[in-house]
Every structure is written in structure tokens, then in C-alpha cells.
């Protein structure tokens, strides 16, 4: 039967070692299994370790140490005691050496145990069964199963009999390395030998099946306990209950719990902790608390894990009061919170954007004499970054390094690097990368890829490619994310050959583009107006078995909209619906924007209403697009109605919303309505920026209220604002339109004096103003200035100049200059 079971394991996925275990749950598949066996074994060894011979009085001090089983706390202690024992004549019994080896193994210094054993071997002290079992246990922990088997060979060379502990340790070691065939062979040896499997052997099998999600086989192993006249223990039931709960099979878990209740075994603290953890994950905190009540009914003491699990469960549901009450219970009890408890609280406050409370919990660490760990600091750094407080995050990082007790991990570095990149501070991110390279914690692929992506987003593609080459030289292999970032960067610059080269390079390394890679290409091509090429990329996706998603089709729709091909854009939208893809707010907003840009505002409104009927909530972008469309179509009343609906739906208008609405009002000569809206903005104490003022100044100029426009322009400084090139150009245009060309020219000079350089639009505006006001010679002077500054005439200015030339109103000597400006 056991052989058949092992064949079933071999036929199953070897991924049973994937850690699905909840914290605190007993789990045989982890390395702690061997420690469980080792603890049982060492406890037995401890009881058998009395000296077999009287010790001479000349060695009283050392003899006393050996007799009392010296407590080993460091590797140095072990080597010192070992050296002194090896110098004794005659040497102590192997039992005494085993005691030292056992203690070092408990400290998890497995390599040190092997080194000490080698000293025994060189000194001629022969091992016994216990010695070799300790050695096998250490090799299993070090994942060196070949050496474990060679130690098994030593049993037979030394005429020693391996025991059940030997085989259990080896079987578990092989299963940890997914070497099921070797484990099965050892189990067969046990089956046919006099040793036979014991409770621990069957527990290993049960745990294995639980992690393979084969609970039927786990139960069949439970049946074998009785066939082999073995008694399942609490560990057996805990493992099975945990297995069923991991599959959300609560009824079966409850049946096993009932078996425990009516048997002599009875649930222990771990059993109840498993149940509490399960209910917390199922968001059933009421049941979790009822299990807590069972602790007291069964005369069991809840431990720190019990409280941590409950506190975490309540905090996941944002039930902070209940979590605080449990924390208070811990505070006044003998249990007291541990590092994990406080880390849970810090993590909660960080996600609630309450960094003040997070820092107060950090203070509690020191009050309780606890040391914050790397998770504590990393969580705080992440919390500050979530609030965009990069300086404070960097401060926590610096404190962590200055403290010296807890050094940042690669995750800590990566978190801060990401924070710098999100703020666009690439230089700080690279500086942190260099700091990692100088220290013990080397940067990994995630750190490099984060910086490469940030550089590409800021169009610093050469720097990104250099960092990519540096990463490759250090033996860090890129992944699809790294390549996708680079492809995105070169596409933004229109470097299609470089993009193709990167694609070929990644495929040659067996790194294949994913949906995100293709989406980047489709989006970049569509933004460049290359929709035919984008269609080709979509076809390639389908050929490679990658289904285009909502993002793909949204980009393609946007490309068609930019080209005015609204029928094709609508077809893509309908294709998404037919395929059952999620048509989101972005999909609707893209198509609405296309219709608005091409003055098909009614079609846009029909889509907007359809979106609302489907339960999708329009965002400010959607509303702004429609408001802009109404404004350009001269439908200001419809725009005002939509603006009111927007606020009624709970969408707060942003600065862009107000500027779009004001612009529409001003362009349609509804200045009084615009000024009324401006007054509302002032009353609400909204941030009125230079864009808003520029729109109003332009509206006043269009309405012929040049004095009011001038007053508003001159009062900008009192509002703490500085006019930008657009504001100056609008004012210059208004002055020219009013025939005040001299004042306009003075304003042009003032611009440069105040550090606001005029652009091509400014020069074309004032040149047209002079021509319209029959001041051709002054216009020609400005044309010369414009050419000297590297600007040229736009279509409107060219039309005026050509008209002047046709009427012979330009000095022929100026023709070469005019040609340069065209």
C-alpha cells in the first residue's frame, strides 16, 4: 500500500513543496520537519547520556562540564569544548560528543556539525547510530542528499543498523528536493525491513498529499495508521485539518476536529490557531472569536500567534477598534505583543495613510525592548512613499543604516528606488544603486528594471541602454519587463529600428514578448499615426496565441480617432463587445474624444449615456472631453448642464474642467457667464492658475474690453502669478487687435527682460498685428528678429506676406529676408 502511495506521489506534480502553509501551522514539508524529528531524537539522546565510566579527579572541571551536558550557545563554544574533549585521555564516550553535535545542530549551524564530526573521525572516535543520524540530518538541511546517502552507507560499513529516524530524515530530505523516486525507494526499504514506517513516516506522506491537494490520498494514509497498529497524533490531525481548510473544505475539517474531540488526542493550540487563521482568511471574524472562546473551554492558553492572527484579521476588515482591544489584552497578559504584532499594526496604519500612528508604534518597539526588523523599516518606507513623502522615506532608510542592528534588504532598497523613480528623481535612484553595488546587498533585476523603466519614461533612453548593458555585464539576465521598458522608451523617440533590434534580441534569448510588450508597440505606433503597422502587431499577437485585451483595442481605437477614421474606431469598439472584453471608461472616453474632436458631439453624448446605463462611472477626463466638445460646438448651455450633472454625480471638477468651461464661454462671447464662474472659483478658494487667467484675458480681448484685460494682466503679480509665454502672446494679440501696436511691442521687450522668451507663436502674432495695422516696415524688422531666433512664419503670417508681395507693398531689398522666414 505504501509503495502504491509513493507511485501516486511520483505521478503528481512535484510542486507540493510550494509553501501554502499559514504562519504557525505545523508543516512537515518544510525544513522544520527534520527539526521535529531531531528534537524528539535529541530528547531521547539527552536522557541516555550519563557517563558510562568514573571520571578521574585530575579532570574534574571538564568532567563536570561533560556530565552536566554543557550548554552550547555559539559555534565557538562548541569548538572549544570539542577541542578539550579530544585532548582528554582516555577520550569521553561518543555519547558526550553526540550531545555537543546535537546542540550545534539545534542552533542550525549544520556545516559546523560536519566539521566537528570530521575532527572526531580524524581523532579515531567512532560514531554510533545517533552520530550518523545527526550527520544525515545536517546534510538534509544543507540540501546535500548525496552526502546523506554516503552517510547511510557508513552504517553498513560500521556494522550499524539504521533506525526509523534515519529513514524518516532521508525520505523527508528527498521530498524537499522533489526527488520522489528516491524517497519511494527508501520507503520500500522500510516496508520490507524490520524497521517499518512509524507515525512520523506517515505524517510525512499525509503532509505531502495535502500540499498536492490530494486529500483523498491523505485520508487513505490515515487509514494505514490503524492497519499498522499506529496511533495518529495531534500533528497528523492538524496537518489534515489544515489541508482541508486550504481547499475551503470546512465540513471535512470539522469532521476531523470532531474526531479529535471524541478521541484521547484532543485539539491543541496549533489546531485552534489553524481554525482561527482559516476563518480570518474567509473574513469570518465572528467564527474566529468563537474559536478563541474554545481555548478557555479546553483549558488551553492562546499564544502570541493566536492574537497576531486575530489582530491581522480585524485590521484587514478595517475594524481597528476590535484589533486595539485584542492588543490591549496582549498588553495586560503575560503574552505581550512581539515584533510580528507591531509590524501588523505598522502595516495597517501605513495602508490607512496614518503615518503618525505608524511612527508611534515604532516607538513602542523600544519601550518593549524589541528590535524593529527589516520588515518594519521597509513597511514604513513604503508607507511614506504611498503618501508621496519621499524625504521622510529616505530619512527612515538613513536611520536604519545608521542604527547598524538591521541592515536594509534588496526589497528595502528596491522600495526606495521605486519611490525616487516615481518622483522622477532618477539621479537619486542611480545613486542608491551605486551604494548597493559598494555594499553587501547587491542590486537585483527588479532594482535595475525599475530604474531602466523610469529613465525610459523620461525619454533618457541612452542612459537606460547604458544601464542595461552594465546590468548584463554583471551577469544579471533581463526579463520581459526590462525589454518592454526599453522598447517603450525607443518607441517614444520614434526609433523603430532600435525597437525591432530589441525585439529580436529578446527573442534570441528565449524571452518572448507578452501582452504588455505588444500593447506598448501598438500604442506607440498609433500615436505616430502608423495604424496599419499597429494592425500588423495585433495580428502577430493573435498568431502567437496572445489574445489582444482591452488595452490593445483602446490603443487601436485611439489611433483611428486621431486620424479621424471614426467608423474604424467604432468597429473596434463593437469587436470588443462581441468578444466579451471589458469595455471600460477608457474605451468609452477614447471614442467620445474622437467624436468630439471631429465635431460629432451628439454621437459622443449617445456613447456617454450608454456608458451610464451600463453602470460605468464617467471620470473627470470623460466630462472634460464632452465639455470641450460642447464649447467648440458653441453649445454652452449643454456644457453648463453637463457641468451641473457632473457635480451632482459626485465628480469634483478639477482645474482643467474649469479652464475648459471658461474657454468655451469666452470663445463664444459669453463673458458675463465666464466671470460668474470665475467668481464661484474664487468663493470656493480653488487654485486659480495662470491658465485660467490667460483664458479670461483672452475672453476680455475678444469682447473688446482691452482695459479690463490689461488690468487683469497687470494684477497677476498681486495674485502671486507670473505670466507665461501664452499669457504674454494673448495680451500682445489683444493690444494689436485694438490698434495698440506700440504697447504690444513694449510688452514683447518686457517679456525678454523678465526671462520669458517669446516663441514662434508670439512673433507670428505681433507680426500679423503690425501688418493688419498697415505698419509693414516694423513688421519686416520683427521678421528679421524672428529669423535670427530660429523661428519661421506660420501659414497665417505667410498668407499675409504673400498678399503684401502681390500688391508690391514690400521693399524688394527685403525679399531675401522674407524668403528665409518662409
Q: At what angle do helices 741-753 and 760-772 cross, to 10 degrees?
A: 160
Let me know if residue 18 belongs to a domain.
yes
Could you give the CA distance from residue 395 to residue 399 in angstroms, rounded to a whole number?
6
Q: Are residues 1 and 129 in the same domain?
A: yes
Q: Are residues 106 and 197 in the same domain?
A: yes
Q: Are residues 389 and 422 in the same domain?
A: no
Q: Are residues 164 and 214 in the same domain?
A: yes
Q: Looking at residue 597, what is its pLDDT?
A: 92
Dihedral of CA atoms 374, 378, 380, 386 in degrees, nearest 10, equals: -170
Dihedral sign, CA of 202, 206, 212, 214?
positive
Q: Are residues 116 and 212 in the same domain?
A: yes
Q: How many CA atoms lie within 13 A of 99 on its CB side?
A: 21
Let me know if residue 518 belongs to a domain.
no
Q: Considering only CA atoms, which of 714, 720, 684, 676 is closest in space to residue 697?
A: 714
Cis peptide before 90 (omega within 30 of 0): yes
Q: How long, in residues, is the chain?
A: 822
Q: Looking at residue 502, what is its pLDDT?
A: 94
What SS3 class is residue 186?
A: helix
Task: Cell numbers for 614, please give them.
Answer: 451600463
Q: Looking at residue 101, what is its pLDDT?
A: 92
Q: Looking at residue 819, what is its pLDDT?
A: 60
Q: Looking at residue 780, what is its pLDDT?
A: 85
Q: Are residues 331 and 346 in the same domain?
A: no
- Count of domains forming the chain: 4
Using 70 as the pLDDT threshold, list the residues of the chain that sit under it. Answer: 1-69, 805, 807-822
Residue 697 · residue 730 · CB < 8 Å:
yes
Query: Which of the listed residues 361, 385, 408 is the one where a domain comes to its end?
Result: 408
Cβ neighbors of 656 (< 8 A, separation 6 or more) are 620, 624
pLDDT tens per residue across span 17-53 = 333 333 333 333 333 333 333 333 333 333 333 333 3
Query: Which of the listed residues 312, 337, 362 is the one where a domain comes to its end?
Result: 337
Q: Are residues 323 and 352 in the same domain?
A: no
Cβ neighbors of 644 (< 8 A, separation 6 or more) are none
Q: At what angle do helices 566-579 and 550-562 cross, to 10 degrees?
A: 170
Let me know if residue 732 belongs to a domain.
no
Let me know if residue 720 belongs to a domain.
no
Q: Looking at residue 450, what is its pLDDT?
A: 97
Q: Considering only CA atoms, which of 568, 515, 570, 505 is closest in space to residue 537?
A: 515
Residue 160 · residue 188 · CB < 8 Å:
no
Q: Are residues 418 and 404 in the same domain?
A: no
Q: Are residues 424 and 466 in the same domain?
A: yes
Q: Considering only CA atoms, which of 215, 10, 33 is closest in space to residue 2?
A: 10
Neighbouring CB atoms inside 10 A of 313's CB total 25
For 67, counting Cβ atoms within 10 Å of its Cβ (0-12 exposed, 13-18 middle, 19+ buried), the class is middle
Let me know if residue 754 belongs to a domain.
no
Q: Are residues 169 and 266 in the same domain?
A: no
Q: Looking at residue 434, what is its pLDDT?
A: 95
Q: Are residues 404 and 435 in the same domain?
A: no
Residue for grid cell 485552534: 272
Let me know if residue 36 belongs to a domain.
yes
Residue 486 · residue 505 · CB < 8 Å:
no
pLDDT tens per residue across span 206-249 = 888 888 788 888 888 888 888 888 889 999 999 999 998 888 88
What SS3 class is residue 474?
A: coil
Q: Considering only CA atoms, which of 388, 407, 409, 411 is closest in space to residue 398?
A: 407
Q: The domain spanning residue 285 has which CATH number?
A: 1.25.40.10
Residue for grid cell 526609433: 495
Q: How far is CA 84 from the centre of its chain?
A: 53
Opening angle at CA 737, ends 736 and 742, nearest 5: 20
Residue 587 · residue 573 · CB < 8 Å:
yes
Q: Looking at residue 257, what is its pLDDT?
A: 85
- What residue numbers bound the domain in which 369 lies? 340-408
Let me know if residue 394 belongs to a domain.
yes
Q: Considering only CA atoms, which of 466, 452, 463 is closest in space to residue 417?
A: 452
Query: Which of the listed residues 304, 337, 370 is the one where a domain comes to its end?
Result: 337
Q: Considering only CA atoms, which of 662, 666, 665 is closest in space to residue 688?
A: 662
Residue 763 · residue 785 · CB < 8 Å:
yes
Q: Looking at residue 270, what is its pLDDT?
A: 92
Q: Are residues 176 and 309 in the same domain?
A: no
Let me know if residue 651 belongs to a domain.
no
Amino acid at each position: 500500500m505504501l509503495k502504491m502511495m509513493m507511485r501516486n506521489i511520483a505521478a503528481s506534480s512535484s510542486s507540493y513543496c510550494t509553501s501554502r502553509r499559514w504562519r504557525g501551522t505545523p508543516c512537515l514539508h518544510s525544513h522544520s520537519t527534520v527539526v521535529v524529528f531531531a528534537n524528539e531524537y535529541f530528547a531521547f539522546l539527552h536522557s541516555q547520556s550519563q557517563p558510562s565510566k568514573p571520571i578521574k579527579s585530575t579532570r574534574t572541571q571538564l568532567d563536570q562540564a561533560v556530565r552536566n551536558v554543557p550548554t552550547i550557545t555559539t559555534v565557538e563554544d562548541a569548538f572549544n569544548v570539542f577541542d578539550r574533549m579530544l585532548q582528554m585521555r582516555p577520550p569521553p564516550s561518543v555519547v558526550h560528543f553526540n550531545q555537543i553535535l546535537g546542540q550545534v545542530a539545534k542552533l542550525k549551524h549544520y556545516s559546523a556539525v560536519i566539521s566537528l564530526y570530521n575532527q572526531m573521525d580524524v581523532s579515531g572516535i567512532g560514531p554510533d547510530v545517533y552520530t550518523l543520524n545527526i550527520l544525515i540530518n545536517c546534510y538534509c538541511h544543507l540540501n546535500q542528499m548525496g552526502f546523506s546517502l554516503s552517510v547511510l552507507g557508513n552504517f553498513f560499513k560500521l556494522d550499524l543498523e539504521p533506525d526509523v529516524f534515519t529513514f524518516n530524515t532521508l525520505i523527508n530530505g528527498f521530498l524537499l528536493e522533489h526527488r520522489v523516486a528516491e524517497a519511494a525507494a527508501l520507503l520500500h526499504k522500510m516496508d520490507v525491513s524490520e524497521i517499518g514506517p512509524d507515525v512520523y513516516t506517515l505524517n510525512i506522506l499525509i503532509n505531502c498529499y495535502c500540499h498536492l491537494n490530494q486529500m483523498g490520498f491523505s485520508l487513505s494514509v490515515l487509514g494505514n495508521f490503524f492497519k499498522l497498529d499506529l496511533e495518529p497524533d495531534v500533528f497528523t490531525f492538524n496537518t489534515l485539518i489544515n489541508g482541508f481548510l486550504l481547499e475551503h473544505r470546512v465540513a471535512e475539517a470539522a469532521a476531523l476536529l470532531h474526531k479529535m474531540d471524541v478521541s484521547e488526542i484532543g485539539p491543541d493550540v496549533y489546531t485552534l490557531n489553524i481554525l482561527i487563521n482559516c476563518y480570518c482568511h474567509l473574513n469570518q471574524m465572528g467564527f474566529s472569536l468563537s474559536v478563541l472562546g474554545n481555548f478557555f473551554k479546553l483549558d488551553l492558553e492562546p499564544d502570541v500567534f493566536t492574537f497576531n492572527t486575530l489582530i491581522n484579521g480585524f485590521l484587514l476588515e478595517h475594524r481597528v477598534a476590535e484589533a486595539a482591544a485584542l492588543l490591549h489584552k496582549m498588553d495586560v497578559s503575560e503574552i505581550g505583543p512581539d515584533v510580528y504584532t507591531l509590524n501588523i499594526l505598522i502595516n495597517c496604519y501605513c495602508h490607512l495613510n496614518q503615518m503618525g500612528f505608524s511612527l508611534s508604534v515604532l516607538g513602542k518597539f523600544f519601550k518593549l525592548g524589541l528590535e524593529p526588523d527589516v520588515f518594519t523599516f521597509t513597511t514604513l518606507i513604503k508607507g511614506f512613499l504611498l503618501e508621496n513623502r519621499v524625504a521622510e522615506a529616505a530619512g527612515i532608510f538613513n536611520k536604519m543604516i545608521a542604527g547598524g542592528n538591521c541592515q536594509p534588504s534588496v526589497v528595502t532598497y528596491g522600495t526606495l528606488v521605486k519611490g525616487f523613480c516615481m518622483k522622477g528623481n532618477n539621479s537619486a535612484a542611480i545613486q542608491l544603486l551605486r551604494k548597493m553595488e559598494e555594499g553587501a546587498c547587491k542590486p537585483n533585476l527588479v532594482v535595475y528594471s525599475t530604474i531602466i523603466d523610469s529613465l525610459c519614461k523620461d525619454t533618457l533612453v541612452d542612459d537606460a541602454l547604458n544601464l542595461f548593458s552594465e546590468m548584463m555585464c554583471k551577469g544579471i539576465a533581463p526579463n520581459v519587463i526590462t525589454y518592454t521598458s526599453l522598447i517603450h522608451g525607443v518607441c517614444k523617440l520614434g526609433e523603430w529600428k532600435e525597437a525591432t533590434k530589441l525585439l529580436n534580441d529578446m527573442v534570441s534569448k528565449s524571452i518572448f514578448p507578452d501582452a504588455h510588450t505588444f500593447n506598448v508597440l501598438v500604442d506607440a505606433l498609433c500615436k505616430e499615426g502608423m495604424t496599419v503597422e499597429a494592425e500588423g502587431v495585433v495580428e502577430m499577437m493573435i498568431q502567437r496565441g496572445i489574445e489582444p485585451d482591452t488595452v490593445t483595442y483602446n490603443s487601436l481605437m485611439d489611433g483611428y480617432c486621431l486620424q479621424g477614421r471614426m467608423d474604424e474606431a467604432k468597429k473596434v469598439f463593437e469587436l470588443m463587445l462581441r468578444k466579451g472584453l471589458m469595455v471600460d471608461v477608457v474605451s468609452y472616453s477614447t471614442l467620445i474624444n474622437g467624436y468630439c474632436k471631429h465635431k460629432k458631439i451628439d454621437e459622443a453624448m449617445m456613447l456617454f449615456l450608454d456608458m451610464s446605463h451600463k453602470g460605468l462611472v464617467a471620470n473627470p477626463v470623460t466630462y472634460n472631453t464632452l465639455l470641450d466638445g460642447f464649447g467648440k460646438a458653441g453649445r454652452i448651455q449643454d456644457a453648463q448642464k453637463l457641468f451641473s450633472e457632473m457635480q451632482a454625480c459626485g465628480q469634483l471638477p478639477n482645474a482643467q474642467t474649469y479652464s475648459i468651461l471658461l474657454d468655451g464661454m469666452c470663445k463664444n462671447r459669453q463673458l458675463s457667464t465666464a466671470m460668474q464662474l470665475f467668481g464661484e472659483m474664487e468663493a470656493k478658494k480653488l487654485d486659480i492658475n495662470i491658465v485660467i487667467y490667460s483664458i479670461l484675458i483672452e475672453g476680455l480681448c475678444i469682447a473688446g474690453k482691452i482695459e479690463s484685460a490689461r488690468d487683469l494682466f497687470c494684477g497677476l503679480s498681486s495674485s502671486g502669478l507670473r505670466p507665461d509665454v501664452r499669457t504674454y502672446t494673448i495680451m500682445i494679440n489683444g493690444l494689436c487687435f485694438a490698434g495698440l501696436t506700440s504697447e504690444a511691442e513694449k510688452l514683447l521687450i518686457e517679456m525678454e527682460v523678465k526671462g520669458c522668451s517669446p516663441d514662434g507663436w508670439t512673433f507670428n502674432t505681433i507680426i500679423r498685428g503690425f501688418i493688419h495695422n498697415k505698419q509693414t516696415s516694423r513688421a519686416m524688422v520683427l521678421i528679421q528678429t524672428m529669423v535670427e531666433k530660429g523661428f519661421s512664419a506660420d501659414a497665417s503670417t505667410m498668407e499675409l506676406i504673400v498678399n503684401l508681395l502681390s500688391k508690391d507693398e514690400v521693399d524688394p531689398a527685403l525679399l531675401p529676408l522674407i524668403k528665409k522666414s518662409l
